Chains A and B, each alone.
Chain A
Amino acid sequence: MDEAFQASAQWYDGHTAIRHEGEAVWNGGDVLALRSSSGDTDVPFTDLEYAEERAGELVYRRSSQADFRLILPADLPAGLASRLPEKQVYGAWVDKLGIGKATAIFAAVSVAAVALFMTAPEWLGPRVPQSWERNLGDAMIGDMGNRLCHTPQGDAALAKLLGAVDPAQQKVRAGVANIGMVNAVALPGGQVLLFDGLVQDAETPEELAGVLGHEVGHVRERHVMTALLRQFGLSILLSGANSGMGETVFGLASMGYSRDAEREADEYARERMAESDISPLGAADFFERIGGDAEGEQNAVIGWVSSHPDPRERAEAYRAAAKGKSFTPVLSDDEFAALKSMCEEDPNVEEFDFF
């Protein structure tokens, strides 16, 4: 018999711990013949699986008998080796590709997955259904109740202002919140709040139109969801924050939009104001003012100023939009006055408790 087709062998039948010792012989057929004094077995080559290599030996299993073990010397004669299943080192996939290639592919897939995850707010935010965002917003903020200021004249003035910067059929919900800070926020679910402090600070209705248009821009461009995702992570989609309302409003007020988002919101505001013939000079004045005394009044304007582009730059952009045009006043003096006295004259309005 040819030496190339036989090797010494040990095997266990998987039923008892008795070791069979003898020879493994290939006679040219489809089976490997195991011969020993304690019994003979024929194993079809197709039934053999590679198990492992251990100190100078190769171990094979049988797919039809889970616990059968065949142990052959690692330096198998070539003829026999060619019929036996191939060695595996890292597991099927990695072996097929080779470790270098597998590492590169895995790394590429992982980097892509991480990148996708990290940029999720940017691409996922605008794709979250509006109704979902609305529910989330309601869950986070709850009912504003009497914390928003209402008078019939004030409401009418605000509606007029909003109509000028939000021409869409379905308007965002806007309100004046009874908070003394110079600030404004866009809440999830398409709700925009001007703080009374900002209303009092405004010298012309055009200033308010600029700020309101900017916040509406955040809502329309779907920046709010993106910022929420950035702030709280993807878990926000499953849960919705359920902490105290004041805290949430504060969190939202200090929530950072990217500079690009701010620019987009500014552009949106300028376009709407141009369409409605509103002077952007008011907004320019406003930015110059908060830019000028940002240091002195840091607390009042920090939410607005901190993550926003340089106020001077923004003021210039608004001023540039005004060049060579004439405008009509957005509100009459009476309407502006009604807006300003809204919180003072609302008998039912409540204090806005933050904590």
Chain B
Amino acid sequence: MHYDDIQAESAFGFDGNWKDFAKIALPNLLLTIVTLGIYRFWATTRERQYLWSHTRFVDERLEWTGTGKELFIGFVLVMLLFAIPLFGIQFVSQALVLRGYETAGVVLGLLPLFMIFYLTGLARFRALRYRLSRTRWRGIRGGSDDQGFTYGLSYMWKTFVGYLALGLLVPWSMTSLWNERWGKMSFGPHRFDADADSANVFARFLLFYLSPFVFVIGGVIAAATGGLAGYGIGGEEGAGVGLFTSVIILGLFFYVGLGLIAVAFYAKFYREAVGSTHWKDLHFGFEASTKDWIMLLIGDVLTVVLTLGIGFVFLSYRHWKFFVTHMEAGGDILLDELTQSTTATARHGEGLLDAFDIGAI
């Protein structure tokens, strides 16, 4: 019986380094530029090969088996099947409005918006499915037999309901969609399951939700005191300066403060979501604190700004490293039972909507 107990150390590890990654990312950038962007599908694939192969899970590295060609074909198909028809509909609806059929035109004009809404959910599902099906560990891959069409509908109504009650149900829609998405994925013979509970993130969400009110009320008081203080020091002119300073501080608070609180909520949400995800007898965890996320974002900005923009090629590296180094897993894996996934992987058809490869996990 082959048996792995992975309590000993962190189950996930990353041993890439940015210099090696640069040898991939910079030629990629060059080739992408000289091919007017067409190489980017192969560039993405090469980057992922590097990142995956330097990621260790327990005692074996991951392997990325996706190809640039299938991403490219997926992109072309999406263009043909969705982008051009959507453009066409927009055009026809404008023409209808101009020719006096306002209602028909407006209805037709709204259709693409609904389609894009639906496709966003569908794409999110498909991207995750694609990544799992192209990830090998010990020769075994993941995937899903679900096409994601019902998930697309769920995405629409849950997001809608989430914003309905003054946005108070947003945490519920986020956790519920996470659970639904991961519940349909599998790796090898075993399904994932997730039972993230929005109650655990609701307090953080309220912080995010209520802070604008607190800021405004606090700001008004601060402005008044600032104005008064200024008046005390420099009369009317001083009051103006004091008021002005207070307003600037208020503005800064609003942008920076609210951004920080949003990050705090997302950090909590991500810990809850990953922490509630299981795979057979394995449970996962994500250990990044709000501070870690903020450091990541500040690092991103500095990476891009200090290199006059070229550093953006390192962002995927930074994000993957952040993700892997904060991932934890515990429990047992029975290697004998870990047989090959039987989920469908159409060789190119899979690429259909995977071209919408927007942040899958």
User: Are the C-beta atoms of B36 and A54 separated by less than 8 Å?
Assistant: no
Tell me, yes or no, whether B95 is within 8 Å of chain A by CB: yes
Tell me, yes or no, whether B80 is within 8 Å of chain A by CB: no
- CB contact list, A79-105 vs B, under 8 A: 90-91, 94, 99, 102-103
Q: B184-202, CB under 8 A of A: which get 1 and which 0?
A: 0000100000000000000
Tell me, yes or no, whether A239 is within 8 Å of chain B by CB: yes
Q: Which residue of B lies closest to A240 (CB)?
A: B95
Number of A-B contacts defined by CB within 8 Å: 83
User: Are the C-beta atoms of A69 and B42 separated by less than 8 Å?
Assistant: no
Tell me, yes or no, whether A107 is within 8 Å of chain B by CB: yes
Q: Which residue of B lies closest to A14 (CB)?
A: B139
CB distance from A11 to the nearest CB of B (A): 8
Tell me, yes or no, whether A310 is within 8 Å of chain B by CB: no
Q: Please report whether the interface of chain B is mostly helix, strand, loop or mixed according to DSSP.
A: mixed
Q: Which residues of A contact B339 (CB under 8 A)?
A: 15-17
Instruction: Given A17-B137, A18-B335, check contact A52 B94 (CB 8 Å).
Output: no
Alpha-carbon separation in the docked complex, A49 to B39 (Å): 23
User: Are the C-beta atoms of B63 and A242 separated by less than 8 Å?
Assistant: no
User: Are the C-beta atoms of A94 and B340 separated by less than 8 Å?
Assistant: no
Choice from A55, A102, A106, A239 contacting B91 with Cβ under 8 Å:
A239
User: Are the C-beta atoms of A103 and B34 separated by less than 8 Å?
Assistant: yes
Q: Which residues of B contact A288 (CB under 8 A)?
A: none
- CB contact list, A98-147 vs B, under 8 A: 99, 102-103, 106-107, 110, 113-114
CB distance from A54 to the nearest CB of B (A): 4
- How many interface residues does B have (CB within 8 Å)? 36
Tell me, yes or no, whether A67 is within 8 Å of chain B by CB: yes
Choice from B30, B68, B188 contacting A17 with Cβ under 8 Å:
B188
Tell me, yes or no, whether A171 is within 8 Å of chain B by CB: no
User: Are the C-beta atoms of A106 and B34 separated by less than 8 Å?
Assistant: yes
User: Are the C-beta atoms of A69 and B136 separated by less than 8 Å?
Assistant: yes
User: Are the C-beta atoms of A55 and B15 separated by less than 8 Å?
Assistant: yes
Q: A39-75, CB under 8 A of B: which get 1 and which 0?
A: 0000000000001101100010000000111000000
Q: Which residues of A contact B137 (CB under 8 A)?
A: 17
User: Are the C-beta atoms of B53 and A242 separated by less than 8 Å?
Assistant: no
CB distance from B355 to the nearest CB of A (A): 18
User: Are the C-beta atoms of B34 and A110 separated by less than 8 Å?
Assistant: yes
Alpha-carbon separation in the docked complex, A239 to B87 (Å): 11
CB distance from B68 to the nearest CB of A (A): 6
Alpha-carbon separation in the docked complex, A51 to B53 (Å): 11
Q: Which residues of A contact B35 (CB under 8 A)?
A: 106, 110
- CB contact list, B334-353 vs A, under 8 A: 335-336, 338-340
User: Are the C-beta atoms of B42 and A90 separated by less than 8 Å?
Assistant: yes
Choice from B39, B42, B138 contacting A12 with Cβ under 8 Å:
B138
Between-chain CB contacts (< 8 Å), 14 pairs: A12-B138, A12-B140, A16-B140, A17-B188, A17-B335, A18-B2, A18-B335, A52-B53, A59-B53, A67-B141, A106-B35, A110-B35, A239-B91, A242-B98
- List the 6 closest pairs (A to B, CB-CB), nearest first: A12-B139, A54-B53, A17-B338, A17-B138, A107-B34, A106-B34
> 7 more A-B contacts (CB under 8 A) besides A16-B340, A51-B65, A54-B61?
A14-B139, A17-B333, A55-B53, A59-B63, A67-B139, A91-B42, A91-B46
